[in-house]
Structure 1
Amino acid sequence: MGADNHRDRAFQYGDGLFTTLAVRNKKPQLWPLHKARLLDDSQRLALPLEIDPLEREVQAQARSLNNGVIKIHLSAGEGGRGYQRPAEPKPVITFSTHPIPSFYRQWQDVGIDVDFSPVKLGHQPLLAGIKHLNRLEQVLIKQKLVKDDAIVCDMNDNLIEASASNLFWYAQGAWHTPAITHCGVKGVFRTFVLKVLALLEQSALESLYPKQQLLTAENVFLCNSLMHIVPVKRLFHEDGVCEFSIDRVTQLQHAVATRLLDVNESLL
């Protein structure tokens, strides 16, 4: 639908958003949730989005790809004076396809090691939850990675997410995940996991949690649309190492995978 251009506002200012979805057996996984987020995020950024032609193109790309990854990139297009957009922006949509990283399967099976990132997320409630194109914080987080991944906190040392995924943990008889109200990305797979937990009648709480909360967890996992659920087996922190069982996470992996194969409207 469009081509890269150095005059494009995505290139100039990071003015736009994106989503990344998995394709399996020619079907875009969780497309209704991706579509809902694209519509919501585009409205919040005041970007017009024609969803019907986009949906047709996604389905065509998925049939051609068979298995892999589709990245959908929505830019505000060209024009405007400096930061100010034109009165009627003309967004540009581009697609790219990629393989699903092969190491995700091993991560899912045996778990990963993480630590706390030294990079903290700033607060901007107007952008919280949106998968917008300004991802310099994540670039810095990736540059500082020491373990397989890192847990990321905000300026106040509240838990938020990982470098490119959402965070869940089990403690005191319930699952917990950080509220995405001041910063962070509200991932599509996070939304799906919360829906599955509700279907399983397992408690799932969203709130602001200080980083110390994670040190008391029994089980921890990360998730996104490509790697699905990945257990965390060890958390390295300034006072030592926390080790977590992956058994409960493995059970949830199976429950989520089963429902992912037979998604119905109640989960979307």
Structure 2
Amino acid sequence: MIAAWVNSEPTESVSVTNRGLNFADGHFTTMLVEQGQIASWPLHQQRLRRGCHLLKMAEPCWDSLWHTLQQALTRCDAQGLGVIKVVLTRGGQGRGYGGEYLAQPEVLVSVHLYPNHYLAWQQQGIALELATTPIATLGCGFGIKSLARTEQVLLRFELDASAADDLIVCNTDGEIIEACAANLFFWQGDTLVTPALCRSGVSGVMRQRVLGTAAQLGIDVQVRSISTFQLHQFDGAFVCNGLMKLVPVVKLEHRTLAISDLFRQLQHSLL
């Protein structure tokens, strides 16, 4: 971490009573910084608004948050890439699980180095394997980037013990949902197929942009339930999130996959 602010004040610590720390009572978004600008800020703000609504938190003071983000940008490489994370936790004290309804949130902003290996991944591609750790179906944090990330932590341990670059994650009903920290897309000929995130997972900022750009390029898109038994039907795949953008998959379990011209066209449109 390069720098951090809590409620617009420079600091690297939070109170031991912070409800995000004690109960994972909050949510977050992680944003790419390119050449001194936050990428896709309106979509990130939309995500934060939705998280506040679902968790029954008041929205932050957007003017104050924007001022802090401008300070954070000064700590990023003005000509390169960086990462800014915004965490909102429920304000007020409460007692035990009982929190203050629509309390003004605590706002945590932090600046981090960009994971440079993503740049190599974008060109060379990655290998995926099926995870054995499932994620919940219709969990309470479904659809938002809640602070309850136990499943993702366990998945990361599983990934670290494997030879793969990332994992294909299913929910408890056996539906393919996502990668460890990214959304999944598959190619079936010239058709783009992505899991329907109706009961598990999070529709990331880059996933939304991919769906919109694919439509503009005239690419046929199917959003539907996908099982592991259907993986053999796909002849291409990629993962995406707001930091890595689009990364092709060159190995899916034991199969080698080609990087198509159509993928490169889509990738170029979103760089």
TM-score scaled by length of structure 2 = 0.89
Kindly tell me: are residues 148 and 88 of structure 1, through their superposed partners in 2, closer, same or farther at Cα, counting changes over 3 Å? closer
| Contiguous gaps of at least 5 residues in structure 2 | 1-5, 8-12
Q: Does 1:16 align with 2:26?
A: yes
User: Are the counterparts in 2 of residues 179 and 208 from structure 1 also a CA contact under 8 Å?
Assistant: yes
Displacement of 1:64 after TM fit?
A: 3.8
Q: How does 1:9-88 map to 2 (within 5 A)?
A: 9-49=19-59, 50-65=61-76, 66=78, 67-88=81-102
| Percent of paired sites with the same residue | 34
Distance (whole Å) between structure 2 residues aligned to residue 199 and residue 188 of structure 1: 17
Which deviates the most, 41-50 or 221-230? 41-50
Give the one of 243, 250, 255 matched to 2:256.
243
Distance (whole Å) between structure 2 residues aligned to residue 78 and residue 184 of structure 1: 29
Displacement of 1:212 after TM fit?
A: 2.0
- What amino acid does structure 1 have at the position aligned with 2:170? C
Q: What secondary structure is seen at the aligned counterpart in 2 of 1:250? A: helix
Aligned to 1:171: 188
Distance (whole Å) between structure 1 residues aligned to residue 154 and residue 140 of structure 2: 22
Displacement of 1:173 after TM fit?
A: 3.5
Displacement of 1:113 after TM fit?
A: 0.7
Give the one of 175, 180, 185 matched to 2:202.
185
Aligned to 1:265: none
Kindly tell me: are residues 162 and 88 of structure 1, through their superposed partners in 2, closer, same or farther at Cα, counting changes over 3 Å? closer
Displacement of 1:9 after TM fit?
A: 0.6
Q: Does 1:7 align with 2:5?
A: no
| Contiguous gaps of at least 5 residues in structure 1 | 258-268
User: Are the counterparts in 1 of residues 176 and 195 from structure 2 also a CA contact under 8 Å?
Assistant: yes
Which deviates the most, 27-36 or 210-219? 210-219
Q: Does 1:112 align with 2:126?
A: yes
Aligned to 1:150: 167
Distance (whole Å) between structure 1 residues aligned to residue 257 and residue 165 of structure 2: 15
Distance (whole Å) between structure 2 residues aligned to residue 127 and residue 55 of structure 1: 26
Q: What secondary structure is seen at the aligned counterpart in 1 of 2:137? A: coil
1:203-222 C-alpha deviation (Å, 9 max, x unpaired): 22212111222221111000
What is the number of equivalent residue pairs in this alignment? 253
- What amino acid does structure 2 have at the position aligned with 1:40? R
- What amino acid does structure 2 have at the position aligned with 1:56? H
Q: What secondary structure is seen at the aligned counterpart in 1 of 2:270? A: helix
Which deviates the most, 34-43 or 133-142? 34-43
Distance (whole Å) between structure 2 residues aligned to residue 22 and residue 87 of structure 1: 31
Displacement of 1:186 after TM fit?
A: 1.4
Q: What secondary structure is seen at the aligned counterpart in 2 of 1:144? A: helix
Distance (whole Å) between structure 1 residues aligned to residue 192 and residue 19 of structure 2: 40
Aligned to 1:229: 246
